[in-house]
Copies of this chain bind each other. A is one copy, B any other.
């Protein structure tokens, strides 16, 4: 198994609402999501999907806890000011703010917003990682 992933799927309860939230952040689905009942977003070399949480649980052969299940996505930016700007944009789009931007114990700056389906996103500035112009990170 190569060291890579292809797709991250977030289970959602109302696909229209969830697509609307990510569209409000500036994202654009790359497929005919209304017809297919799943939305795919091209994110560099991987894809992010929004799909019925009930169907995702069945497809993933797991029982749904109904809450958070041990997975968090992070979005890195180039400065603390950009962290604050993204969090403000997410709040305007309807996200809950888990924690406002603040310095972290590891020498960076981060905040958390939570999407309409309860999926948390850490927005971070990590001065120890390289962030390329195309958005890719190098640890």
| Chain A residues within 8 Å of B, Cβ to Cβ | 1-12, 25-28, 30-31, 40-48, 53, 56-57, 59-76, 86, 89-90, 98-99, 112, 114, 117-120, 122, 124, 129, 131-132, 134-139
Would B6 and A118 count as touching, CB distance under 8 A? no
- Shortest distance between the CB of A55 and any CB in chain B (Å): 11
A interface SS class = mixed
Q: Complex: how many Å from CA A64 to CA B136?
A: 29
- Subset of 15 A-B contacts with CB under 8 Å: A2-B135, A5-B73, A7-B74, A7-B76, A8-B8, A11-B72, A44-B46, A45-B137, A47-B139, A53-B70, A59-B122, A60-B68, A63-B68, A65-B69, A70-B119
Known: A65-B68, A70-B119. A45 touches B6 (CB 8 A): no
Would B41 and A3 count as touching, CB distance under 8 A? yes
A99: B residues at CB distance < 8 A: 61
